[in-house]
Amino acid sequence: MKKRVLTLFGVIFLMLCQISYAQDEIRISGNLQAQGNFFMRDTLIGAANTPQYDRQLYGADTWLLLNASYKGFEVGVRFDMFNNSNLLDPQSSYTDQGIGRWFVKKKINKLGISAGYLYDEIGSGIIFRAFEQRPLLIDNALFGVRLTYDVTPDWQVKVFSGKQKRQFDVYGTIIKGMSIDGFIQPKDEKKNWTLSPGFGVVAKTLDDDMMRTIVGTINSYSVEDSIGAKYNTYAFSFYNTLVAGNFNWYVEGAFKTGEQFFNPRALRTINDTTTTLGKLVFERGTVFYTSLSYAGKGLGVTLEAKRTENFSFRTNPFVTLNQGAINFLPPMTRFNTYRLTTRYQAATQELGENAFQADITYAFNRKFQIGLNASYIADLDDQLLYNEYYSEITYKYKRKWQITGGLQYQEYNQAIYEEKIGKDNVVTIIPYVDFLYKISKKKAIRFEAQYMDAEEDFGSWVFGLVEFTMAPHWTFTVSDMYNIAPNPTKEEIPFDENGKKRKLHYPRFDIFYTYRSNRFSLSYVKQVEGIVCTGGICRLEPAFSGIKLSVNSTF
């Protein structure tokens, strides 16, 4: 069946291309993203004991997408290839290739029709978001059909049904849903406000094989840990955006009916005297999220709050980490950019968190700007998960140079985020400075300097970077991350010949070349173990040592 579908899709794509030769009306576009890793074993930093370091020595990841449009039709096909890839699981190796995505779209008057592997979301994604994050090899596309209908120019209804993508296969769970989105504005043009209300519902139905697995697991539990099980789960969401003058207020509330899901922190009884962590539980779930922002006269303010309780919403209760998630919970921390300020990041906790964030920027003039940010995240028992205070000042001198500096303070619960049970919270203080000097219209040099004062993980660090740019083609960077005061109790840090913990260097060299819509890079990298986040989704990755090559091209 899978081969028949792909063959049919290929025929449609070729027919459109043939039409283009006859009438010259088709538009074809695409992009290529390819990267290769050459692994160089380094036991001192922990880059070892995986298939890539021990024997394979090489890995590659490639995505090639082609899109075509003709008289309202849109079709696309994407070829994916993974050779000895460590993206799916950094501790393992994944190899496969094939058609990673195809889709067909057509708008017929007020009706929109889409089929294939689809990306979409309801509201902010709290109850449904089909998306991809390639750096973490997340591709949660919905393989199915979506219909949209424009009831009025300002109101649209959407329905969809299908299964979630799983690399080159799909999960057995059926996912279906609908949403209604609208736009309201006053007839009086003098009234400066608008509303964008919406409602969505998503349902999932487990397949029989998965239900048998769930029931078998529950039957293995003791009587006090036994729970119920249901085939169907429903999630509802109400959301609205109010824009009034310089203010923008978004609010969303979501509710999920009771279902079985895995709680890694729940105690399970093995016998009368022994317990262990992790078991299936049966609970309802809720999320409340709101964001209020103001922008005007050089001032920008954003306030956010979110409360999450038991909102694990996955294709089945046995998928873990970033796999099989039907929804997306908005992160509640600042997207930092500097190497040391991004060392510890707070992954969203679907089982429970109370989170708050405030962000303020103010531009005194074109030369001088400040930024302040504060975030606080705790679990539902008020145990601290993450706390951050961030400040930044930027000064521009004409068009010649620019300097940015600031200070970050963090408290980070590594026992929760990295599952390092019994470890103390990491407390960091990070001053940083970034200086950009324009040598000429096409040449510039940039310097970064950062210091991290910390004790509870690897210890304290210094980081330095020099970047030289020759526009529009070349960029060269050299950087080093140095463990200046290693933690004497950290097992991952080796001893030197004097019996003390080694002060390890993590150097990096990059060359970037850009020509029109093509970008090439060559990098030598040594990277410490740590949290990697993309788009608010995080995971713990081991150390890396080796050479990276990448090509990005749009056509």
Q: Are 385 and 377 in contact (CB under 8 A)?
A: yes
pLDDT given at position 271: 73
Cis peptide before 135 (omega within 30 of 0): no
285-289, 367-371, 494-498 — which is least confidently predicted? 494-498
Confidence band, pLDDT 50/70/90 cuts, at residue 1: very low
pLDDT given at position 14: 57
Indicate whether 19 pLDDT > 60.
no
Q: Under CATH, which number does the domain 331-555 receive?
A: 2.40.160
pLDDT tens by residue, 523-540:
999 999 888 877 777 887
| β-bridge pairing 169-182 and 111-118 | unpaired
Cis peptide before 472 (omega within 30 of 0): yes
Q: Which long-range contacts (CB under 8 A, 24 or more apart) does 403-406 make?
A: 403/433, 403/434, 403/435, 403/436, 404/433, 404/434, 404/435, 405/431, 405/432, 405/433, 405/434, 406/371, 406/431, 406/432
Cα of 238 vs its chain's centroid, Å: 24
Distances (CA, A) of 108 to 73, 148, 245: 10, 10, 36
Confidence band, pLDDT 50/70/90 cuts, at residue 7: low
Q: Indicate the helix (H) or strand (E) that contains 472.
A: none
For residues 126 and 293, what is the distance between their CA atoms, to the nearest angstrom? 20
Residue found under tokens 């009831």: 151
> Within a 10 A sphere around the Cβ of 28, how many other Cβ atoms?
14
Q: Are 184 and 195 in contact (CB under 8 A)?
A: yes
pLDDT tens by residue, 92-117:
999 999 999 999 999 999 999 999 99
pLDDT tens by residue, 25-64:
789 999 999 999 999 999 999 999 999 999 999 999 999 9
pLDDT given at position 443: 97
Confidence band, pLDDT 50/70/90 cuts, at residue 541: confident
| Of 87, 113, 110, the residue nearest 100 (C-alpha) | 87
For residues 128 and 287, what is the distance between their CA atoms, to the nearest angstrom? 13
pLDDT given at position 48: 95
3-class secondary-structure state, position 383: coil
Average pLDDT estimate for 14-23 = 52
Q: What is the pTM of this model?
A: 0.91
3-class secondary-structure state, position 104: strand
> Within a 10 A sphere around the Cβ of 444, how many other Cβ atoms?
18
Average pLDDT estimate for 506-518 = 97
Confidence band, pLDDT 50/70/90 cuts, at residue 419: confident
pLDDT given at position 530: 86
- The string of DSSP letters for 412-428 reads E-HHHHS--TTPPPEEE
Confidence band, pLDDT 50/70/90 cuts, at residue 164: very high
Q: Are 101 and 76 in contact (CB under 8 A)?
A: yes
Phi and psi at 183, nearest 5°, equal: -145, 125
Q: Are 121 and 141 in contact (CB under 8 A)?
A: no
Average pLDDT estimate for 198-205 = 98
Domain boundaries, the chain: 331-555
pLDDT given at position 225: 86
